[in-house]
Chains A and B, each alone.
Chain A
């Protein structure tokens, strides 16, 4: 009897696990600023529950990611906030860019859309596409 009561209790808990994880995608480099601010605020709000925060860049503007000087202002803040920045390989290919040209802090994912769905589906990330 008690076991059955326990099972009905489980149905009410959120399937998030212990940590809050987030992914935000964008096609515009200047949006890195408000996104990083968001991560900083959530980090404070979540405390020990703050997990992973990723930014995924894609689209024709990814060319700007090769401007290492301009990117440094963003990557410095991202690093301090524990925010990962990655770029879509398909977008890089479309723009004829070599991953080696990117600022070293920026990682590469095969496909932005797949990555976004996988994080939601497999790891329950909160997700926002800008």
Chain B
């Protein structure tokens, strides 16, 4: 009877301690970087690579929001395809800010269909932060 009681306590303690650890280790890590300079994609991919290594199976989403005047360069489809390919290699998603596209007169059909467009990059970043994404803006 005493052994049964003791082993129950041990089991219960194991169950209690496990969830806390599991929560820290198994939680998916998601990231968002906001950039106003397309050439910054290069070092951003390096960051994604490093974090993927660090997080292992916990590496989740890595999204890059492109805002500001730099969106004009998105129309250089050849240049952008290189970045898009690199992004795919690193499991990075490239997103263009719709507000910036409108402001700087960039037509959506002049940019690669592989680029996701959100209405408002600022809003989208804060929405991701609310979902627990770690965020930096450059």
Interface residues on B, range: 20 to 34
Partner of B126, one of A4, A12, A126: A126
B20 close to A8 (CB less than 8 A): yes
B16 close to A4 (CB less than 8 A): yes
Kindly count the residue-residue contacts between A and B in the assembled complex, taking CB atoms under 8 Å apart: 50
A38 close to B122 (CB less than 8 A): yes
B34 within 8 A of A: yes
A112 within 8 A of B: no
How many angstroms between the C-alpha atoms of A29 and B120 in the bound complex?
17
B120 close to A37 (CB less than 8 A): yes
* Residues of A with C-beta under 8 A to B129: 126, 128
Most chain A C-beta atoms within 10 Å of own C-beta, residue among B23, B120, B121, B122: B122
Chain A residues packing against B (C-beta within 8 Å): 1, 4-5, 8, 11-12, 14, 20, 22, 24, 34-35, 37-38, 41-42, 45, 126, 128-130
